[in-house]
Structures are given as structure tokens and as C-alpha cells.
Structure 1
Amino acid sequence: MRPAAVTAVPPTDGLDGSGVLYELKLDGFRCVAFARGERPPYLQSRSGRDLAAEFPPIAAAVARLPAGLVLDAELVAWREGRFAFEELLRTRQARAAESTALGLIAFDVLALPGRDVRRLPLADRRRLLLAALADVPPPIQPVMATTDRVEALTWMEQLADTGVEGLVCKAAGSTYRPRGAGRVWVKYRRSDTLDATVRAVVGSAARPEALVLELDDGRVLLSSPRLTPVQAGRVAEAVHGRLGRTVRDPEHGSVRPLTAPLRAEVTVTGRPPTATFVRLRGD
């Protein structure tokens, strides 16, 4: 099941009316972990690939679970006080050499030994998950979750510096449907509102389509999605008389650089980061 992206955290009755379970959204590899007794564990990625050989500490921990237990989880790395997605992309030898901490943060249970529980409501599966992992030590642990929206928002803000991305919000009565979540699972990604310098425009001077933006930390991003008609009109007015000749940018194609600085407010979300244009700065 894959949650749909939303721009606001839903209220407690905002999905299917059964209540909402709010979970921390973590930055890692999605992984369904199969404990198989005497057979090697299987760590299934979203593409179906087995990740066990790449993450031996996690595979060893799953191997100690009761045979037949199946967990839906996020495989994460932790370094210098933050979740560190980039560590997951390194070789296992490089991670081992620097003692990178790995974890398997479980947010659902799909099967218990001898029992498929996907048709049970999420609220019941959550109780079964907590019971199944009650005596299981790290690196496997359940995700932080609550039915209290205010508490979830507080967690998200308090833990932002650790790399928590946002919240995954799920209807408490939802069953596990392998072919998709529809709108009963949604994800809200925390965004940062930042100032940026407009370096160039994409499209015509009269109707810009996007902006090449330089953040104050040096990152250069192309605004997305496409500017609305109102935004394009305001940008066109502001850049009039400030545009140089069209040049070929190696990353963004044909652009028209600004000859005088212009500041904008943007929201930056996600990995890789996406910059959404909000407005031009009046100052």
C-alpha cells in the first residue's frame, strides 16, 4: 500500500470516518520483512528485490523473529543524530567501516505465524504489531504513532532536526490492500519556507513557466509545478527590463538569466528537494 500525497494533515475524521492513525514519516527504503525460520529472511524492496545481502544487521535481526511474521517497515540509517538516507546508498562495507547505525522501523504487520491478518482493520493490526514486537530489541522497533492529531503535529515539529519528513495518516478501519491505498492512506511532507534569488526564467518573458532559483545555502533548483497564470503575470511584470539573452543551461535547458537580482519566497520539500514558488518578495 502506498499513501497518496496531500498538502494538509487530515482531521481525525478526515479519511473514512473510522478515525486516523498518525505515524512519523521517515526517510529510508520501504521494506516488507519476512521471517522464515530456518530459511534466510527476505527483505523485499518496493521493486521486489531482496535487500538482505546489502543490510546484514537487519537480516540477522529479522532472522531472530518468529517464523511466519511479516512486517511492513522502513529500513533507515542513523548518523550524527539524524536519519541519513544517503548512508543507505553506500556499500555495506563502507557503512560497517564507519559503524553506521541501521534500523527497521515497522508500521504494520501483514502476517503472524500461520495467520494472514491483512483483512483486519489497521487499529487491530497496530495492536498485534505492538504485541509481536513487545520483547524485540533494536534494531527492529515499531514506528511512533498516535490517534491524537495535535500530538502528531507536535512530534513532527520537535523531531524535524532529526530528519523526520512529516506524517503518514491512515484510516484506522482500513484493511491492507496490496494493489493500492486509495485515499485511506495519505502522506504529508513537512515543508520549509525559504527565501531564494531568482536567477533565470524558463519560457517567454511575457509568460514565464518556471524559475531557476538559488537558495541561500547555494542549492539551485527549478521551481515546480508550472507557474499559475496569476504567478506568471506577476513575474513577467517584475522581470521586465531585467532579462538577458537566452542561454543554454546544462540542467534546465533554455533560460533567460536576470541581469538584476530578484527575491522570491518558496517552499522546499522532499528528497530530492522540490522548490514551489509562493510569491515575489515585495522588499
Structure 2
Amino acid sequence: MRPAAVTAVPPADGLGGAGVQYELKLDGFRCLAFARGDRPPFLQSRTGRDLAPEFPPIAAAVAGLPEGLVLDAELVAWRDGRFAFGELLRTRRARAASPEVALGLIAFDLLALPGRDVRRLPLADRRRLLLAALADVPPPISPVLATTDRAEALEWMERLADTGVEGLVCKAAGSPYRPRGGGRAWVKYRRSDTVDATVRALTGPAARPRALVLELDDGRVLLSSPGLTPVQAREVAAVAAPLLGPATTDPDLGPVHPLTGPLRAELTLAGRPPTATFVRLRGD
């Protein structure tokens, strides 16, 4: 199941009204973990590839689970008190984690028990079975932190932001597991950071720009996404008009109007790679 993105955390009576389970959203590799007894474990990536050879400590831990257990989980790396997605990429290349890096498999759903497919059960029942199945399982496998209390989930998200927690995944407590689907039964809310950036250029017509070419203070250059609303486009066009330099044509962006003077904008950054969403022009 793949959660749909939302811009607000749903209330406890949202997503159908039968209750909501709130889980921490982690930054890692999504995978299905299959414990297969005498056969090697299988860590299925989103594309169907086996990640087990690339992460031997996780594969060894899954091999110790009862045969037939299937988990939906996030494979994560932890370094210096933070989740570190980059270490997963580095570990894949090196085939082994450095001593400073801890790997983990954080399970957030249970698809099967030995001899039993549980995907049609409500999420609340699958959660109870998941906790029971992992009750005596040591790290690096552990269940995700989850609650049905929205206020508690929001507190967790803010308190753990410095560890790299991205946001929350919110799921209808009564939802079955629907492979490759889910509709609005599962949604994800990603916390965003508000930053200032310099507008370097406008794309589209100068009188009704479509997007902004933005330079962050750390030197990264991003295109605002989604496009500007009609109200935002009019505001930006009016303020930027005295600063427009000669127009150029970009092979990917089409007409581009560089700015000859400073213009600052406030935007939100979210995701990986980051998406820059325009909020407003700054007066300073």
C-alpha cells in the first residue's frame, strides 16, 4: 500500500470515521521482509529487487524470524543520533556498515503469519498481531512507534524532528491491506521547513510567470513546484518587473527571465530531493 500525500494531519475521526493510527514517517528504504525458514530471507524493494545481499545484518535478523512471517517495513540507518538516509546509499556501495552506523528494520505492518495471510484483517488487528509477533525479537528489528492519539503523534513529530523523523503516516484503523493501492485509507503528512531564498529568474511569460528559479542560501538552485497560482503570479510579476533582464530560452524551462537585482522569497522545503513551494515574497 502506498499512502497519498496530504497537507494536514487528519483528525482522529477522519479517514472514514473508524479511528486513525498515526505512525512516525521515517526516511529509508521501503521493503517487504519475507522470513523463509531454511531458504535465504528476501527483502523486496519497491521495484521488486532483493536488498538482502546489500544489508547482511538485516538479512540475518529476518532469517531468525518464524518461517512465513511477512513484514511491511522501512530499512533505516542511524548515525550520531539521527536517521541518515545517505548512509544507506553508502552501505550499499561498501556492502558493510561502518562501526558508527546502526542499521534497523522498522516494521509498520504485518502481512502474514506462519501459514496465515492476514492482509484482509483491519489494521488495528494487524497491529496487535505485529506487536505480539515482535514482542521477543531484539534489534535491529522493531515495530514503528504508533498511536491513535493525534495530539500525541504531533508531539512525537515535533520532539523527534532533530532525529530526522520526516512526518506522520496516518491510516484508517479499519483498513485492510490492499497491495499497490489504498486510496485515501493511508495518507502521509510530511513536515516542511520554511526558509528564505533568492529569486534568480522567472519562467514563462514575464507578465504571468509560471514558476521561480530559486537559489537557497547554501547554493542549491531549485524550481518552485507546484506552479504559481494566478494571484501569486500577478504579485511576483508586479514586484519583479523593474528587475527583469533580457529574456532567454531554456531547453527544459522555455522562456526564462533572469533578475538583475535581489528579490527574496519565503518557501517551504519538503521531501528528498527537496520540493520548494513558494509561500510569498519577502519585504526585506
What TM bracket, shorter-length normalisation? over 0.9
Unaligned residue ranges in structure 1 (runs of 5+): none
1:3-152 matches, within 5 Å, as 3-92=3-92, 94=94, 96=96, 98-99=98-99, 100-152=101-153
Q: Using the alignment, how far apart are the partners of 1:95 and 1:155 within structure 2?
A: 33
Displacement of 1:248 after TM fit? 5.6
8 Å Cα contact 2:56/2:96 also seen in 1: no
Displacement of 1:217 after TM fit? 2.6
Distance 1:251 1:163, change over 3 A: farther
Displacement of 1:219 after TM fit? 2.1
8 Å Cα contact 1:121/1:175 also seen in 2: yes
Unaligned residue ranges in structure 2 (runs of 5+): none
Secondary structure, aligned partner of 1:240: helix
Is 1:257 aligned to 2:258, yes or no? yes
Displacement of 1:254 after TM fit? 4.7
8 Å Cα contact 1:222/1:252 also seen in 2: no
Q: Using the alignment, how far apart are the partners of 1:93 and 1:214 within structure 2?
A: 31
Q: Using the alignment, how far apart are the partners of 1:88 and 1:251 within structure 2?
A: 32
Q: Using the alignment, how far apart are the partners of 1:195 and 1:3 within structure 2?
A: 29
Q: Using the alignment, how far apart are the partners of 1:235 and 1:218 within structure 2?
A: 22
Q: Using the alignment, how far apart are the partners of 2:79 and 2:207 within structure 1?
A: 47
Letter in 2 for 1:17: G
8 Å Cα contact 1:133/1:142 also seen in 2: yes
Displacement of 1:252 after TM fit? 5.4
Is 1:223 aligned to 2:224, yes or no? yes
Secondary structure, aligned partner of 1:193: strand
Question: TM-score, normalized by length of structure 2?
Answer: 0.96
8 Å Cα contact 2:91/2:97 also seen in 1: no
How high is the sequence identity, in percent, across the aligned residues?
A: 82
Displacement of 1:255 after TM fit? 2.3
Displacement of 1:216 after TM fit? 2.2
CA RMSD of aligned residues (A): 1.5
Letter in 2 for 1:62: V
Aligned residues: 283
Displacement of 1:157 after TM fit? 0.6
Q: Using the alignment, how far apart are the partners of 2:98 and 2:75 within structure 1?
A: 18
Letter in 2 for 1:128: L
Deviation string 1:175-198 (CA, Å, 9 cap, x unpaired) is 111130100100000011111111
8 Å Cα contact 1:87/1:95 also seen in 2: no
Displacement of 1:94 after TM fit? 2.7
1:196-215 matches, within 5 Å, as 196-215=197-216
Displacement of 1:203 after TM fit? 1.2
Q: Using the alignment, how far apart are the partners of 2:139 and 2:251 within structure 1?
A: 45
Q: Using the alignment, how far apart are the partners of 1:143 and 1:179 within structure 2?
A: 21
Determine the structure 1 residue equivalent to 2:235: 234
Determine the structure 2 residue equivalent to 1:195: 196
